[in-house]
Structure 1
Amino acid sequence: MRNPIAVLLERLVMQPMWAQFRTGLESAAVPGSGGVLFLGDSITHIGRWDLMFPSIATRNFGISGERSGHLLERLGPIVSIKPHKIFILIGTNDLATKIKIEEIAANVAQLVDELVRALPDCKIYLQTVLPRANKFTARVKALNALYAEIAKQRRIELIDLFPLFDDGTGAIRKEVTNDKLHLMGPGYKIWRDAIEPLVLAA
């Protein structure tokens, strides 16, 4: 059973914030504008993809607090843009709840299936969840293993970010974060360098 205070906080604070972010994204989504779309939670949202990849059109569809199930609710604006590439990073907020990893993976599998069906010419990249504090390591690794299966079964590319941010114990490297979750500048540079060839490829 979830903490009632956490439930109240989500209803009073997080849900209105998600609605505001979604409304903003939907209003900014120009149908058919294409580009490279980054889809995820606050880790994606904070990233300045326009500055990291100034030579191409990027679309930041990250929303703070987003979980895997939420992504399924906002596919319309994503599909309408008709991006030619989508980079997905989602799941860390799910892991902070009691949601089973199998349910998270099922949401992501459905997300990928719907994107593939709606955007057959779009290249979709599924990225593994980043390390957090050690108490999350087992669940992060288990979820990432399921992500690898999703990518293999659907013949999309898996970008394994986890080892790039692992401090050797399964926790996130201290120099890339100040809260054991979100990335700072050095972390975004590592991420950028890892995906740059895929982002910029024709």
Structure 2
Amino acid sequence: MKITSLAFSLLLLATTALQAQTPAPATTPAAPAVVLPPQPPDVPAEKYGKDGKINPGFIAAHEKFVNIAKEGKAQLVFLGDSITAGWAGNGKQVWAKSFSQYTPANFGIGGDRTQHVLWRIKNGELEGIKPKACVLMIGTNNVASDPAEGIAKGVTAIVETIREKQPQAKILLLAVFPRGDKPTGKLGTANEKLKQVNAIISKLDDGKNVFFLDIGSKFPQPDGALTKEVMPDFLHLSPTGYQIWADAISPKLAELMK
């Protein structure tokens, strides 16, 4: 049977009307983006994840360090980010050989910025111990978000807090290590900011309680580039890099640990 053009038009209109009456499938609204408040580099702050919640790994590591501090055994404390935390990885053998005689404790957490270390030491990591010395190297993770002056203020706040909580401890304040651009390893624009940071924090050296030491020149090659032999990703250290670090600070540490 043939369908006339009039009948076809009526059928098309009926189909369209039926579709218009069919409810559209329900859609799940997109979750609103989590907007985290700014974290000034000199104001203590916990570390948050992209979901807006406190980073559980950060808290777990912090609680572990608090418990180590409560044991009261550590005579030498290292504070910092993943570069410091790496003493337990690539630097493990160098650590044991170079610092074990000092009963050391490694309080480094990957991804930490100045405000996170500041929060940690104000919340238990320097309670229960009386170390002879603290080694501090922090600030590279602030480079993307903070000006040099702000990063230096964060480092200064940490130094002041260590002095407040552990007045007997000598502080070996290290210049922030250089970092290289990928894939060449050449020192890039981030290092210009780090140079400014290091110039400011060097003035914290009082020759009595705080001692500033810049060992950054021991890592690059003569042409100014970093190598994968020392920094595989041009930021974190290899076992060779940790040996360079240990050799560079050991003479000063021997003085401070007397």
The worse-fitting range, judged by mean Cα deviation, of 169-178 and 116-125 is 169-178
User: Aligned pair 1:145/2:185, yes or no?
Assistant: no
Q: TM-score, normalised by structure 2?
A: 0.69
Give the distance between the partners of 2:206 and 2:225, measured in 1 at CA: 26
1:103-122 to 2 correspondences below 5 Å: 103-122=150-169
From 135, 152, 170, give the equivalent of 2:189.
Answer: 135
| TM-fit CA distance, 1:34 | 3.7
Deviations 1:144-166 (A, max 9, x none): 11111222598611111211113
Give 1 or 2: higher helix fraction.
1
Partner of 1:86: 134
Give the distance between the partners of 2:214 and 2:226, measured in 1 at CA: 14
Give the match's secondary structure for 1:186.
helix
- Structure 2 unaligned spans of 5+: 1-32, 37-47, 181-187
Output the amino acid matched with 2:234. Answer: K
User: Aligned pair 1:10/2:49, yes or no?
Assistant: yes
Output the amino acid matched with 1:101. Answer: A
From 108, 111, 116, give the equivalent of 1:62.
Answer: 108
Q: Is the 8 A contact 1:130 1:172 kept in 2?
A: no
Deviations 1:37-94 (A, max 9, x none): 1110011111133343232200000111111011111112224322110000101111
Give the distance between the partners of 2:250 and 2:34, measured in 1 at CA: 41
From 71, 75, 81, give the equivalent of 1:41.
Answer: 81
Q: TM-score, normalised by structure 1?
A: 0.86
Partner of 2:147: 100
Residues 5 and 182 from structure 1, CA distance in 2 versus in 1: closer, same or farther, beyond 3 angstroms? farther
Greater C-alpha Rg: 2
Q: Is the 8 A contact 2:171 2:209 kept in 1?
A: no
Give the match's secondary structure for 1:17.
helix
How many corresponding residue pairs?
197
What is the alpha-carbon root mean square deviation over aligned residues?
A: 2.5
**Regions of 4+ moved over 6 Å:** 4-7
Percent identity between the two aligned chains: 32
| TM-fit CA distance, 1:119 | 1.5
